[in-house]
Amino acid sequence: MKRAIVKYGDPVLRAKGKRIAEADAEIRALASDMLETMHAANGVGLAAQQIGEALQLTVLDISEVEDRPSTMKLNGKDVDPRSAMPLVLLNPELTLDEETEPGVEGCLSFPELSADIDRAVSVVAKAQTLDGETIKIEASGLLARALQHEVDHLNGILFIDRMSSASKASLGSRLKRLQKETQRG
C-alpha cells in the first residue's frame, strides 16, 4: 500500500529509529509499503521515519538512475548494483571512508529542494535482511551517498543538517514555509 510521505516539520523525522529485533509480519508489511511508496515517488531511498515510523528500517533502489553510477560488493563479492536492487535493510550500521566528495542531493521529505552535500566517497554497511541474514555491503558512487542519506534518517538526521551554511541560508525561506505547511497539516 502506498503511504503518505512525511514532510519536513513533522517531529517523527527527528526521532531515532528503534532497533528491530525480528522481521515479523508487521515489519514485512511495512517494508513492502515503503518500497511501493518510494517507487511511486521515483525516489532512490526511503526511511521508515518518512512514513511515520521511528524504526531502523530503510529501502533503497538506485537501478533507475542512469547518469550516476555505483559500485557494490555484497559479502565481499562484486555484484551488479542494479541486479541487487531493491535493498531492504534492517538495523544498518555504516563505516565511512575518510575521503569525501560533494554531490547533489534531494529528499522526498523536502519536495523540490536540493543542494550539494559532502559525503564519504565509499561506505561499508552491515545490516540484516528480512530473512534474518546479516549482510555486508561495500558501496561507492550514488549507492554510497544514498546509504548515508538513509542511515542519517534512521538516526533523526536530515540532509539540511549537512548542508553548508550558505546553502541552508539560501533555502531558508522555503524551509520555513515547508515547515509551516506541514505543521498546519
Catalytic residues: 150
Binders of Zn ion among residues 99 to 128 (CB under 5 A) are 107
Residue 68 or 73 having the CB closest to Zn ion:
68
Q: What is the DSSP letter of 67?
A: S
Nearest-approach distance from CB 149 to Zn ion, in angstroms: 5
Residue 107 or 163 having the CB closest to Zn ion:
107
Q: How far apart are CA 52 and CA 62, in angstroms?
A: 23
| Number of residues binding to Zn ion, judged by CB under 5 A | 1
Q: How far apart are CA 68 and CA 91, in angstroms?
A: 26
Residue 31 or 107 having the CB closest to Zn ion:
107
Nearest-approach distance from CB 166 to Zn ion, in angstroms: 21
Contact 62, 70 (CB under 8 A): yes
3-state secondary structure at position 52: coil
3-state secondary structure at position 139: strand
Binders of Zn ion among residues 15 to 54 (CB under 5 A) are none
Residue type, 73: K
Strands 45-47 and 110-120: unpaired
Nearest-approach distance from CB 154 to Zn ion, in angstroms: 11
- Give the H/E segment covering residue 36: helix 25-40
Residues 60-99, one symbol each (x = binds Zn ion by CB under 5 A, - = not), give ----------------------------------------
**Contact residues for Zn ion (CB under 5 A)?**
107
